[in-house]
Amino acid sequence: MSGPPRARSPGAGGCGGTGGGDGPRRAGAGHRGMTGAPGRGNRVEPSLHRSRPVSRGGTRAEESTAVSDQTPPVRPRRGETPSRASLRTAVVWEVLRDALDRRVKATGRDALDVLDTGGGSGNFAVPAARLGHRVTVVDPSPNALFALERRAAEAGVADRVRGVQGDVHGLFDVVERGGFDAVLFHGVLEYVEDPAEGVRNAVEALRPGGALSLLAAGLGGAVLARALAGHFTEARRALGDPAGRWGEGDPTPRRFTAEQLTQLVGDSGLEIASVHGVRVFADLVPGVLVDTEPGALEALLKLEEAAAESPAFHSVATQLHVLGEKRG
């Protein structure tokens, strides 16, 4: 599969998308995807040298995954009350952390080399660094990389995180081919010109035995969101559109089904380790209920985790997560 037909690239600052990922950029921070970067593998400005380690110093909501720079841990620690932000990331983080733990055991190394493509300000990169791993974040936005620098310093992991300006199509202009134990590809695939090429590049960055964590917008979640908002014509259009778009005003250039994502990952030579639906219920539950009902957040988080693995719920998830592993 070569992926859905190419969609027009979003304009600067006009994207959605977990990442990493971080989701849509705040105003002025550049857009979330890897297209529209300042060029293939462009060097960063002198003040942000590309190889410089980060220094110390009622209806479903729209598909935004924006999270503020004050985001709490991606998964609440035992005994902590979860937050709305943690609902967006908990399922992905649990899968990713387990994959990293398996890799640690397989290699006998406590510290792994992790690449976060489109990782923005470090919503996943910083927690991975807290586990002791070395993380390289590649992102086209200098503003996001400066935010990453600040976040890493505040978390005390600046020596294990570095920011690199670039994009996935010019990935090997800025990072080593085959140099990473894990690659995070969160909220980026929706925006690349060629999804198949983007996945292939991410896979080529892996060492044998490494893991790819792929997170992308789900088609069914968008259809459900438009329908519950009363936009029935747009919901039907998204359902039949090759790229899963509901109209010209749709900020997301492309969406995927679970079958499309697994085919992209499988065609790249990886074995599919798991598929999860992300934000199956979290965007449907009225905020007033979650915020005022005692224990509602904890119960909702457990429900999300229970439903995530069920194929029956993949078709209505806001996002889809695929974990692929490279043969050793």
Where does the pLDDT of residue 30 fall: very low under 50, low under 70, confident under 90, or very high at 90 and above? very low
256 in Cβ contact with 219 (< 8 Å)? yes
Rounded Cα distance between 92 and 211, Å, is 13
Q: What are phi and psi of 228, to 5 degrees?
A: -70, -20
Supply the pLDDT for residue 46.
Answer: 29
Kindly report, residue by residue over 268-279, the tens digit of the pLDDT.
999 999 999 999
Average pLDDT score over residue span 91-108: 95
The pTM of the full predicted model, rounded to 2 decimals, is: 0.77
Over pLDDT 90: what percentage of the chain? 63
Q: At residue 3, does pLDDT exceed 70?
A: no
Handedness of CA 69, 186, 86, 114 (dihedral sign): negative
Q: What pLDDT is stored for residue 298 in this prediction?
A: 86
Structure confidence by residue, pLDDT tens digits, 218-266: 999 999 999 999 999 999 999 999 999 999 999 999 999 999 999 999 9
pLDDT given at position 89: 83
Residues 6 or more apart from 98 whose CB is under 8 A from it? none
Q: What is the pLDDT of residue 61?
A: 42
Report the pLDDT averaged over residues 190-197: 94
Tens digit of each residue's pLDDT (9 = 90 or more) over 158-190: 999 999 999 898 999 999 999 999 999 999 999
Rounded CA-CA distance 295/24 in Å is 29
